[in-house]
Structure 1
């Protein structure tokens, strides 16, 4: 049996908590980051053209909204495009990250997606709404992490 590491443990937690939501994990070995991308889909019933962040307009019937959380090693430097992520979660180099952090991340991400799906439907139904974003509340994440009773042992950063 292969030894468990951050990616394998994170994937198990996301599969367990995200249910029908689509997600992907992208490991950037050179940048020492792990990006967790999540996707919401919704019917665009009559709102017309919707522009994304780059200003590209779409009139598709099904809207696909993607956002991501980045796990990063602060010792490798600051994240240049931090504002492009829903949240940044630090890990401790080769030591990795506590299992409890990944468990809470998966549960909290599920809550955000559930609320976000409802908010996206409201956005599409409201002609006057200009912007839709998922909402990450760092204080709420920290609170859930402090209250969590999960395992405190670390899962290591994966080896190449």
Structure 2
């Protein structure tokens, strides 16, 4: 995992990577059409934290996009839920990636699955009486 803070665009990207062994040396083409037979497959995706008033991005380039409230930042309940849910998504994704590499199906597609409703339910469960502390947007 890595963090990519773009101060000019007011975004913070949480970059995640999954790795798996391609034992059968399957030819795998990625989203950009590049074909690989590498012995180790690396899959990368990201969650973008953004300022709705200032950030510009293409939502399709990310697993999920989550707004924060300007300099006020991100509610702790959202941050905690994000970490918890992202961990679940990655655990399931690792399992799915291994299954994908075991299949001999030319039409099979691997991707991580994100459910905004599941994240919202986790956030709601973590909020306490509508009072929530905020993690402020970092200053530089």
What TM-score bracket applies, with the shorter chain setting the length? over 0.9
Matched, 1:61 2:39: yes
| Residue correspondence of structure 1 range 96-115 to structure 2 within 5 A | 96-115=73-92
2:135 matches 1:155: yes
Residue 80 and residue 149 in structure 1: after superposition, are their counterparts in 2 closer, same or farther (change >3 A)? closer
**Distance in 1 separating the partners of 2:101 and 2:25:** 6
Query: Hey, which bits of structure 1, 4+ residues long, moved more than 2 A?
Result: none
CA distance in 1, matches of 2:127, 2:52: 25
Alignment of 1:60-79 (within 5 A): 60-77=38-55, 79=56
The answer to whether residue 59 in structure 2 is matched with residue 82 in structure 1 is yes
Contact 2:25 2:38 in 1 (8 A): no
The 5 A counterparts of 1:40-55 are 40-55=18-33
Q: Distance in 2 between matches of 1:138 and 1:47?
A: 35
Q: CA deviation at 1:47?
A: 4.9
- Which structure is higher in helix share? 1
Aligned length: 137
Normalised TM-score (structure 1): 0.81
Give the C-alpha shift of residue 63 in structure 1.
0.5
Q: TM-score, normalised by structure 2?
A: 0.92
| Structure 1 unaligned regions, length at least 5 | 1-22
Structure 1 residue 119: Cα displacement: 0.4
Deviations 1:12-43 (A, max 9, x none): xxxxxxxxxxx000000000000000111101
- In the alignment, is residue 139 of structure 1 matched against residue 139 of structure 2? no
RMSD: 1.4
**How far apart, in 2, do the equivalents of 1:111 and 1:47 lie?**
28
